Chain A
């Protein structure tokens, strides 16, 4: 599911539940989600593997 598909579904659900003022907040969340998905975390695999600190 792309971020745009997710956002459309989430906003439709918010509207169905009568939470229209949730829709702009979901747009903010969508921007954060897009940033997270675009992050090149794999570039750091050497650092994290070396430290064995990948797990919470």
Chain B
């Protein structure tokens, strides 16, 4: 039962073939069985979730069905306020914080009838890509617990994969939804900039943050996205999938394919060929200045993070994990003139991506250049090329936080990691036009059937 998609479970709940209390209990049992290993949750809200599930069953029994999230157990990244529950951001700095209200996205999910199972673990303050630096210990990848699930929404991704809830809500400042979705083999959506409220969500960067869903299918991601927009549908229909014939898709070259694990390159190439065979028109595109993306991103995210954390850093530096405290401290040295240069670069990058998307319906690239890294890894070497793990993991996702375009990661098979072992998930990233998140989701729905 815990392996159902939201869409499948909704059909069964609406038909009263299953009960929300049973589904919620099954998820709580799965958490009890698996989370000692995976460490995906910071807080499990068993009593509260059970009470909410009982209410959902009563409402459904009496004909007051709210729609496809009614009675569905999900989780929230512990960066998102839920009234009466601590929002720790995985940091000792916030150990005593208790949310005095729901974040608007949490309120919208509750209004749609979702049952909140708990708050998921993350990289402290969302400032990292592995979910290792957490006051509550590292999150582990359900496919191989010696590996990271990616981050920063690593607990959310691990929970969805392991049946500890049918979906989860994460945040994405440089890839923190899409990276763990790719590393864990699920769907992760970063909506277009500003579409979903970030109020009541502990910020990393006011100009780059997004809230979005992690789920087992594109339809499930769409259901969660619509609920968070405050426009949940009442019908239980899958998202329509338009035909691919004649759709022009742009494959990004240069910087975007220069640093890839061989297995990731192979799966990506196979996905592109499958889409071509299914009728898509494939064209190759370049983004000028792409090699400057990490520098632009670094100046913006560090400055924003330093501004938010300044007082806490002065008062409680030693309460942060060392790596996160040092990274935030870097932002306090950035000069205003360099911040302005980064803003200029961001605007130019956005214009170039817009230009590509006037010629294509969407852009294609891998989500993550590598398979899930071993916990403790800090450097990636691919032949003669070498870079820090953080740079590598952010490389292909951060561009679209800078430009604000919606982007989604879909699973596209598995690859044997360097050094051997069982295949690990690989993610395909699809980037849509600004203000085109629904169109992107429809296209992704078609593509998920093909890759």
Chain A interface (Cβ < 8 Å from any Cβ of B): 1, 6, 10, 13-14, 19, 21-22, 25-26, 29, 32-33, 35-37, 39, 41, 44, 47-48, 51, 53-56
- From B296, B302, B333, B345, A13 is in contact (CB under 8 Å) with B333
> What residues on B are CB-neighbors of A29 within 8 Å?
298, 302, 330, 333-334
The prevalent SS among residues of A at the interface is helix
Partner of B292 from A1, A25, A39 at Cβ < 8 Å: A39
Whether A19 lies near B345 (C-beta < 8 A) is no
- Chain B residues within CB distance 8 Å of chain A: 207, 288-289, 291-292, 294-296, 298-299, 302, 322, 326-327, 329-330, 333-335, 338, 341-348, 350-352, 354-355
B299, A32: Cβ atoms closer than 8 Å? yes
Given known A29-B298, A32-B295, A32-B299, contact A56–B207 (CB-CB < 8 A): yes
**Selected contact of B351 from candidates A19, A33, A35, A44, CB within 8 Å:** A44
Q: Are A41 and B345 in contact (CB under 8 A)?
A: yes
Q: Which residues of B contact A35 (CB under 8 A)?
A: 291-292, 295
State whether A36 touches B347 (Cβ < 8 A).
no
Docked complex Cα distance between A47 and B354 (Å): 11
**Interchain Cβ contacts under 8 Å between A and B, 12 examples:** A6-B335, A10-B333, A13-B333, A25-B327, A26-B333, A29-B302, A29-B333, A32-B294, A35-B295, A36-B341, A41-B348, A53-B354
The docked-state distance in angstroms from the alpha carbon of A6 to that of B334 is 9
In the assembled complex, the Cα of A33 lies from the Cα of B341 at a distance in Å of 9
Selected from B207, B291, B341, B350, the residue in CB contact (under 8 A) with A53 is B350
Query: Which residues of the other chain, B, contact A41 by a CB distance below 8 angstroms?
Result: 289, 341, 344-345, 348
Specify which of A1, A19, A22, A44 is in contact with B348 (CB 8 Å cutoff): A44
Q: Which has the most chain A C-beta neighbours within 10 Å: B289, B326, B335?
A: B326
Q: How many interface contacts (CB-CB < 8 Å) are there between A and B? A: 82
The answer to whether A36 and B345 touch (CB under 8 A), given A1-B335, A13-B333, A22-B329, is: yes
Complex interface: chain A residues within 8 A of B347 (CB): 48, 53-56
Taking CB atoms, residues of chain A closer than 8 Å to B338 are 33, 36-37
Most buried by A among B291, B338, B345: B338
A4 to B342: give the CA distance in the assembly, Å: 19
Kindly list chain B residues whose C-beta atoms are within 8 Å of the C-beta of A39: 289, 292, 341, 345
B8 CB to nearest chain A CB (Å): 41
Q: A19-B329, A33-B334, A54-B347 are in contact. List 19 more A-B contacts (CB 8 A).
A: A1-B335, A22-B329, A25-B327, A26-B330, A29-B298, A32-B298, A35-B295, A36-B296, A36-B342, A36-B345, A39-B345, A41-B344, A41-B348, A44-B288, A44-B289, A44-B352, A47-B355, A56-B343, A56-B347
CA distance A39 to B38 in the complex (A): 44
Which residue on chain A has the smallest CB distance to residue B348?
A44
B289 touching A56 by the CB < 8 A rule? no
How many angstroms between the C-alpha atoms of A35 and B294 in the bound complex?
10
Specify which chain A residues have a CB less than 8 angstroms from the CB of B298 in the assembled complex. 29, 32
Tell me, in angstroms, the Cα distance from A56 to B349 when the chains sit together.
12
Partner of A47, one of B343, B345, B352: B352
Report yes or no: B327 in contact with A36, Cβ–Cβ below 8 A. Answer: no
CB neighbours (8 Å) of A56 from chain B are: 207, 343, 346-347
Q: A39 to B294, alpha carbons, bound, how many Å?
A: 13
Q: How far, in whole Å, are A41 and B338 apart by their CA atoms in the complex?
A: 13
A22 touching B345, Cβ below 8 Å: no
Could you tell me the distance in whole angstroms from the C-beta of B297 to the nearest C-beta in chain A?
Answer: 9
Shortest distance from the beta carbon of A36 to any chain B beta carbon, whole Å: 5
A3 vs B341: C-alpha distance when bound (angstroms): 14
Please report the C-alpha to C-alpha distance between residue A22 and residue B313 in the assembled complex, in whole angstroms.
14
Interchain CB contact (< 8 A) of A51 among B292, B345, B354:
B354
Distance in Å: Cβ of B449 to nearest Cβ of chain A: 34
Residues in A neighbouring B335, C-beta threshold 8 A: 1, 6, 33
